[in-house]
Amino acid sequence: MTERVPVLRIGDILLVSIQVDLEDQTVLDLQEDLAEQIVAKSARGVVIDITAVEIVDSFVGRMLATIASISRLLDAETVVVGMRPAVAITLVELGLSLGGVRTALDLEKGLALLRRSATGADLP
């Protein structure tokens, strides 16, 4: 049995703080849990905190992009925060751009980004 990643609610934003090794089944469970929580909580934003993630493979990278796509289809914007330089380098080397995924350096900046987006402050 794999460990599940908790999904926490902060107002109308869901916070996913990944503190476990991202095995394939863990990522698939997270995708399903998060989609259910977005609908159940009427979330408009998702912050995925990967500060504790030291390495990623192509499967995990693709799944982060897939989670963002699912969230967008469910009317919630996704921001990935806390990406380590080594993780960013690995994603680029694997050719994964994480299209549609916004990023921020830390949780505070990620939450601010979602709040600005909700008010339309970051729109041209």
Q: pLDDT digit string (tens) for 24-53?
A: 888 889 999 999 999 999 999 999 999 998
Where is average pLDDT lowest: 7-16, 35-44, 111-120? 111-120
Where is average pLDDT lowest: 6-20, 86-100, 110-124? 110-124
Task: Report the residue count for the chain.
Answer: 124
67 and 34 in contact (C-beta within 8 Å)?
Answer: yes
Instruction: Give me 34's structure tokens.
Output: 């998060």
For residue 105, pLDDT over 80 is answered with: yes
Dihedral angle of Cα 64, 54, 116, 120, to the nearest 10 degrees: -30
63 and 29 in contact (C-beta within 8 Å)?
Answer: no
Residue 25, H or E segment: helix 24-41
pTM above 0.85, yes or no: yes
71 and 46 in contact (C-beta within 8 Å)?
Answer: yes
Is residue 124 very low, low, confident or very high in pLDDT (cuts 50, 70, 90)?
Answer: very low
- Distance CA(66)–CA(96), nearest Å, equals 12
Pairing of strands 77-81, 45-49: parallel
> What letter represents residue 116's amino acid?
R
For residue 123, pLDDT over 50 is answered with: no
For residue 108, pLDDT over 90 is answered with: yes
